[in-house]
Structure 1
Amino acid sequence: MAKKKITKTNAIRLLEQRKVPFQSIAYESEGAIDGISVAKKIGHPPKHVFKTLVTTAGAEKMYVFVIPVEAELDLKAAARAAGEKKVDMLHLKDLLAVTGYVRGGCSPIGMKKLFPTFIDESAKELDYIIVSGGKIGLQIQLAPNDLANVVNATFVPVTKP
């Protein structure tokens, strides 16, 4: 069986430019699916698969949170981490314009701008995490610290217990 050709996305180009070790993981998908389903499709435990969420604290104030797919973002903890009184989820209709990515394919790597980024502290306990590769059907596996270095992220507790 022929191996599926990986299309280079902004996320992959950026990792290659910075010589960051990573592995691309392609999977078949008819459209956006939830992160737990992605974990099953690619054969990795859900605790290693992270989703990318974009929040806003008003015009031009965007914050990116990378959290386990099984977890829910604690908006109060997210606001504290960002130094804001309040953050809200970015409206889905604005995601492509703000990040350059679509729902289900939003990577923390290679967005249109480098927004302040926070990775849930649970990632520090793992030898690798998997995040979107920048399009539906593509994931990237890399070390949590490598992701943090590439996107200038901070590890913080931002999920609901």
Structure 2
Amino acid sequence: MKTLFLSVCLIILYVQLSSAQTTAPAVTEQEIITLSKEKWRWMSEKKVDTLAALFHEKAMFVHMGGSMNRDQELNVIKSGGIHYKQADIHDVSVQFIGQTAILLNRITLLAVVGGNEVTNPFVVTEVYIRQGDVWKLGSMSFTRLLTR
């Protein structure tokens, strides 16, 4: 009887631990997806102070025309050199490596670049690093797709 009781307790404990481990990543995945969507909104609204808090101090940004560091990206948003008007998100996926989240978005981006309104299909790679309880954007790269 003691063996049966102990076995049942161990099975219950195993099931609880297993379910806790499978639900935790889904919550974190949704947290990253939500943060990314908010980032697109902040970029379209030119919320440079909010973006400055999100962007890691060593963040790098890769565009079709070159790369920028954190301050350059913030300045180009603030000045209107690039106005991210609207990002229509079609697909999103998230993978975790330790305290790093890699998010891929397939988007259609409507932007104003150098005074010209352009629409381009991209896969955007966003790399987030967890520092304590906060996620920081460490890198964002735009890869233009050949088809829409």
Which bin holds the TM-score, normalised by the shorter protein? under 0.3
Answer 1 or 2: which has greater helix percent. Answer: 2
**Highest Rg: 1 or 2?**
2
Answer 1 or 2: which has greater strand percent. Answer: 2
Which structure is higher in RCO with an 8 Å CA cutoff and minimum separation 6? 1
Give the TM-score normalised by structure 1: 0.24
Give the TM-score normalised by structure 2: 0.25
